[in-house]
Amino acid sequence: MTANQMTAVLRGGGDLATGVAQKLWRAGFTLVILELPYPTTVRRSVALSSAMTEGVALVEDLTARRISDPSECLALWGKGEIPVLADPLCDTLSYLRPIFLVDATVAKRNLGTSRDMAPVTVALGPGFTAPTDVDVVVETMRGHDLGRLITEGEALPNTGAPGEIGGKTTERVVFAPQDGVITHRHKIGDLVSQGETIFFIDDTPIPSPIDGTLRGLIAKMAQVSKGLKCADVDPRPGARANCFSISDKARCLGGSVLEACLYLGRQKGIL
């Protein structure tokens, strides 16, 4: 089932992937998002992956809805909505038959994406080599090359350090100190103080590392493992509005993916 020559599948529906989805959707692409059954997205308020746990996700001008079978895509496309399907292994590609496939999981490694998945393949960040794994790799490291299209080679390696916000990097991010199940004390957008409990893992209270606005928080009842990123605190004054809008980085990467799809589509005679 190929809807048209602009059908694109996105692996992943996190906050960066949502920036990609918006650019493609606004440009007329027909989209499907393939996600984990229980996504571990932290910036849930600006991530279409939230449809997996909430049923529906609304981010700016986008509406995404969870489906249980790829045959439901046509009905949602007709309503101007984006289907989100639990299919981390991309088993439905043989049915969907996309023209474009974008690996937007930003997992820092290749989870199985290959060039034979679609006529045009694009991947975000490290873990991929072009043109071996995909046609184009998009640089995700902040700096001069953010959003650059790489047709030969790899993106810069993962540093392991979060990007700087308000002068803070690793200090603003909360990683799970143990395995367990998440329950919330606060919600995204809340002001929190350093040391204040923002969520629990089982019975263990997890404090905010700094003063600021809770920018991201993994879904309640999520089963987490030690070391998993669970929350993100923005130290900048007046940052609450930013919790509910697509980030500058996500918009930049979205524009780069749109460029890559149009460029490769024309180069391969698809568009």
193 lies in some domain: yes
Over 70: is that where the pLDDT of 81 sits? yes
For residue 159, name the pLDDT band (cuts at 50, 70, 90).
Answer: confident
Q: For residue range 92-117, what is the model confidence (pLDDT) as tens digits?
A: 999 999 999 999 999 999 999 999 99
Residue 202 domain boundaries: 170-235
The domain tally of the chain equals 2
Q: Average pLDDT in the 125-140 region?
A: 97
Rounded CA-CA distance 88/91 in Å is: 8
Q: Is 269 helix (H, G, I), strand (E, B) or coil?
A: coil
165 lies in some domain: no
The residue ranges of DSSP E strands in the chain, in sequence order, are 7-11, 30-35, 56-59, 62-67, 82-86, 100-103, 120-124, 129-130, 136-138, 149-150, 153-154, 173-175, 180-184, 191-192, 197-201, 204-207, 212-217, 223-224, 229-234
Sign of CA dihedral 110, 114, 138, 24: negative
1 lies in some domain: no
Rounded percentage of the chain residues whose pLDDT exceeds 90: 90
The residue ranges of DSSP E strands in 170-254, in sequence order, are 173-175, 180-184, 191-192, 197-201, 204-207, 212-217, 223-224, 229-234
CATH at residue 53: 3.40.50
Over 80: is that where the pLDDT of 212 sits? yes
Helix or strand run (H / E) with residue 77:
helix 73-78
135 lies in some domain: yes
Shortest CA distance to 16 belongs to which of 240, 216, 225?
216
Over 60: is that where the pLDDT of 3 sits? no
One domain, residues 227 and 257: no
Q: What residues does 167 pair with on adjacent strands?
A: none
One domain, residues 143 and 184: no
Over 60: is that where the pLDDT of 2 sits? no
Over 90: is that where the pLDDT of 238 sits? no
One domain, residues 68 and 132: yes
One domain, residues 260 and 152: yes
